[in-house]
Amino acid sequence: MKIVFDNVKFQYDSMKRNVLKGISFTIDKPEWISIIGHNGSGKSTLAKILVGLLSPTFGSIYVNDIELNEENLYEIRKHIGIVFQNPDNQFVATSVEDDIAFGLENNLIEREEMIKRVDDVLNLVSMKEFKNEMPSNLSGGQKQRVAIAGILAINPEIYILDEATSMLDPKGREDFLKIVKMLKEEGKTIIMITHDMNEALLTDRCIVLKDGEIIKDAKTIECLNDYELLKSSRLEMPSSLYVYHELKEKNYDNKEVLNALWESALKK
Amino acid sequence: MNNFVLGQYVPGNSYIYRIDPRVKIISTILLMISIFFLTSIYEILGALLLILIILISARISIIKAVRGLKPLLILSIFVFFFQIFFNQVGQVVYSVNLNFSLLSIIAIISLTVLFIIIRKYINFKFLLFLVYLGSLYASLVYIKTTDVYYTYVLNIFDKGLETSSFVFFRLVTMVFIATLLTLSTKPADITLGFEYLLRPLKIFKLNSEEFALIISIALRYIPTILDEALKIMDAQASRGADFKGGNVFKKIRIIVSLLVPMFVLSFERSDQLADAMLSRNYVPGKAKTKYHILKWKTFDTIVLIMSFIILGGSICLFVL
């Protein structure tokens, strides 16, 4: 699946300035991409444009060389799933299984197939024993796992995670990222939107947004090496990475220490 | 807090849980209608006995059913006493003089003050209320001083007693019937039942699926929003807001300060939920496949027929 953003601009009705000022990038092979930027850089707007919740004020988006418009939107949404930030505000149904079935029902999947898929994805996200549980009895991490299970059931090629882990505790985040890694191994495209360098570290490619513009689109390793970029885009980063860059800037040249710091930053 | 609305349902696996929700809803309505055809206290007691038998045979705890009465307790007690005081037909079964003297009025005032004070610190408010009523009665009857201003002769008539217990037990029976439904059926199943039952309304352009979705979203968000309200209350209490004390005007102001953030947050929430639903390909009014379907079984037919027989029986009793 190929996605092309061609000079996409976006402006909210109520605001004078553009939130996105001409975004262009291409995704043409399964990869794990992070879109990073501080608050207000336009990254969540970008996510909403990707799934067609907002349409750009200027520019176009091509999915498999077909321009995204009102008519083909529903067809394309079958290939793109999104998990939002707040675990509570995306849980539609009164029980876990019903919530997973919600998307399947909308996509007109046959009932027998639905029952099978609900069971399958619950196994995948290890939520089997919570099948009939009400959302109010689940933790944030469990709700996010149900959210991603709901998308897994549709089996799209592209998963967008819009700060999906930012409201979770460390354990919940770890469990969630485990599922994401599994998806990556299956060869899915994952677009992770985050302001946290710790998460972006896991990805192959990173797109850095600042004030509605892409200031860097490169391999994640390259982004990590660019201290000016990290500083100017005001991102949270692993402390070892911070120390590594600070030491380097002050011309500290003990290779062993620097290497150790670099390794530990990447391991995270 | 979850017990507030969703906790009504008690998981179980007796026969009543296996009845189709559609049949349960219809039967509940039929049984409630039948109650209105009953005219004497004995018939009502018979109906109550029948409901109790159903409750017990379905292994539903009577205590839980009685708890369902709680919101209606004050109403039913009011109705009960109203009938006793004002329905003066038949023979006098009990007569007592209520003496209003200086001492008894002082006693009444001090009892009321005491009741209001104690009420804040005690859990069994209803029991306290009964004790309060009892002591009011006692102070009127047994304080006999010479300076009686006014004596009210309270006559309790047999018909009054009968009507009041008739009304009281009718209310109890109705509540038990409703609780039978809510205790044994998940809210999601009740919604599903209504969705099926309201399908014929398509002629009037009412889409029962959307209607059911609205109800289920409302049910799903009640605990979430209650939680949020508690958090806001805590946040405001930590900044000095007082939700318990104060006069009516202060209370209204406090409630407003709770409602405003609740409204703002709920709109935000619904925006996000709408986004989540749209991104999962929800299109309002579009046909969907169904994950849950209801299957009619022979047992459902039997239950439905029995409900109709009960309705028929009570109409017969009414006519004959």
* pLDDT single digits (tens) B4-34: 444 577 778 888 888 999 999 999 999 999 9
Picking from A98, A103, A136, the nearest residue to B2 by CB comes out as: A136
Quick one: tokens of B228? 């949020």
C-alpha closest to that of A195 among A249, A237, A151, A254: A237
Residues of A within an 8 Å Cβ radius of B: 48, 51-53, 74, 77-78, 81-82, 84, 86, 88-95, 97-98, 101-111, 114-115, 118, 134-137, 150-151, 154
Residues A11 and A133 both lie in one domain = yes
Is residue A232 in a domain?
no
Q: Shortest CA distance to A191 belongs to which of A216, A162, A165, A211? A: A162
More confident residue, B80 or A180: A180
Contact between residue B192 and residue B21 where contact means Cβ atoms under 8 Å apart = yes
Question: What is the pLDDT averaged over residues B179-202?
Answer: 87
Q: Residue A136: its chain B contacts at CB < 8 A?
A: 2, 6, 223-224, 227
Q: Which of A140, A99, A139, A105 is nearest to A122 (CA)?
A: A99
Kindly determine whether residue A108 and residue B288, on different chains, have CB atoms separated by under 8 Å: yes
The neighbour count for residue B183, using CB atoms within 10 Å, is: 22
Same structural domain, A105 and A154: yes
Q: Are A94 and A135 in contact (CB under 8 A)?
A: yes
Sign of the CA dihedral A237, A239, A241, A247? positive
User: What is the 8-class DSSP label of residue A65?
Assistant: T
Rounded to 5 degrees, φ, ψ at B148 are -70, 125
Among all chains, which residue has been given the structure tokens 């169904």?
B290
Pair of tokens at residue A211: 């004030």
Q: β-strands A205-210, A32-36: how paired? A: parallel
Residues A34 and A106 in one domain: yes
pLDDT digits (tens, 9 = 90+) for B227-261: 888 898 888 888 887 777 677 788 888 888 888 99
Q: Do both A204 and A260 map to the same domain? A: no
> Where residue B269 falls among pLDDT bands split at 50, 70, 90?
very high
Whether residues B289 and A118 touch (CB distance < 8 A) is answered with: no
pLDDT (tens place) for every residue of chain A, 268 residues total: 888 999 889 988 877 788 888 899 999 888 999 998 888 888 889 989 988 888 888 889 988 888 888 888 888 888 899 999 999 999 999 889 999 999 999 999 999 999 999 999 999 888 899 988 888 888 889 999 999 999 999 999 899 999 888 888 888 888 888 899 988 888 899 999 988 888 888 889 999 988 888 988 888 888 888 888 888 877 778 888 888 888 888 888 788 888 888 888 777 5
Is A218 within a domain? yes
Tokens of A90: 């995306």
Residues in chain A closer than 8 A to B269 (CB atoms):
88-89
Q: Beta-carbon neighbour count of residue A94 at 10 Å?
A: 23
For residue B5, what pLDDT is reported? Answer: 45
CA pair distance A108, B110, nearest whole angstrom: 70
| pLDDT tens-place string over residues B99-135 | 788 888 888 899 889 888 887 777 777 788 888 888 8
pLDDT at residue A197, rounded to an integer: 82
**Sequence-distant (≥ 6) Cβ neighbours of residue A15 within 8 angstroms:** none
Tell me the pairing of strands A158-162 and A80-83.
parallel
Q: Please answer yes or no on whether B273 and A92 come within 8 Å at the CB atom.
A: yes
How many domains, in total, are found in chain A? 2
Q: Is residue A187 part of a domain?
A: yes
Cα-flanking dihedrals φ and ψ of residue B38, to 5°?
Answer: -85, 140
Task: Give the minimum alpha-carbon distance from B187 to chain A in angstroms, rounded to a whole number.
Answer: 9
- Which chain B residues are within 8 Å of A91, Cβ to Cβ? 220
List b or e across B291-312, with b for residues whose CB sees 16 or more CB atoms inside 10 angstroms.
beebeeeeebeebbeebeebbe
> Chain A residue with minimal CA distance to B285?
A106
Residue of A nearest to B213 (CA): A93
Whether A231 maps to a domain, the answer reads no
Model confidence over B277-301: pLDDT tens digits? 999 989 887 888 888 888 888 999 9
Chain B interface with A: residues with Cβ < 8 Å: 2, 6, 187-188, 216-217, 219-220, 223-224, 227, 269, 272-273, 275-283, 286-293
A·B CB contacts under 8 A: 95
Q: Are residues A211 and A116 in the same domain?
A: yes
Statement to judge: residues A211 and A252 lie in one domain: no
Q: How far is CA A182 from CA A12, A127, A164, A185, B6, in A?
A: 36, 16, 16, 5, 36
pLDDT of A268 reads: 56
Question: Is there a single domain that holds both residue A132 and residue A246?
Answer: no
Question: Looking at residue A161, which CATH number applies to its domain?
Answer: 3.40.50.300
pLDDT of B264 over the 90 cut: yes
- Inside any domain, residue A87: yes
**Residue A161: inside a domain:** yes
Chain Cα centroid distance, residue A17: 25
Share of residues in chain B with pLDDT > 70 (%) = 97
A80 and A43 both lie in a single domain? yes
Are B157 and B89 in contact by the 8 Å Cβ rule? The answer is yes
Are A219 and A250 contained in the same domain?
no
Considering only the beta carbons, identify the residue of A86, A89, A104 that sits closest to B291.
A104
- Residue A233 falls within a domain, yes or no? no
ipTM of the complex: 0.89
Sequence-ordered list of residues with C-beta below 8 angstroms from that of A20, at least 6 positions apart, any chain: A8, A9, A10, A42, A45, A46, A49, A56, A212
Give the other-Cβ count within 10 Å of A120's Cβ.
13
Sequence-distant (6+) residues with CB within 8 A of A248 are A227, A258
φ, ψ for residue A250 (rounded to 5)? -90, 20
Interface test with A, best of B194, B230, B279 (most A CBs within 10 A): B279
Sheet of A66-67: strand order equals: A20-27, A3-10, A58-63, A66-67
Report pTM.
0.78
Q: Collapsing DSSP states into helix, strand and coil, what is residue B94?
A: strand
Residues A89 and A212 in one domain: yes
Return the amino acid letter for B172: V
Q: Does residue A135 form part of some domain?
A: yes
* pLDDT the model gives residue B6: 47
Please check the confidence at residue B138 and state whether its pLDDT lies above 80.
yes
The whole-number pLDDT of residue B25 equals: 93
Q: Which of B216, B217, B280 sits opposite A106 (nearest CB)?
A: B280
DSSP B160: H
User: What is the domain extent for residue A76?
Assistant: 3-226
Tokens (6 digits) for B15: 């026969």
The verdict on A27 and A125 lying in the same domain is yes
CA–CA distance, A114 with A104 (Å, rounded to integer): 7
Of B53 and B101, more confident? B53
Rg (CA), chain A: 20
Structure confidence at residue B16 (pLDDT): 86
Say if CB A156 and CB A103 are below 8 A apart: no
Looking at the fold, whether A149 and A103 belong to one and the same domain comes out as: yes
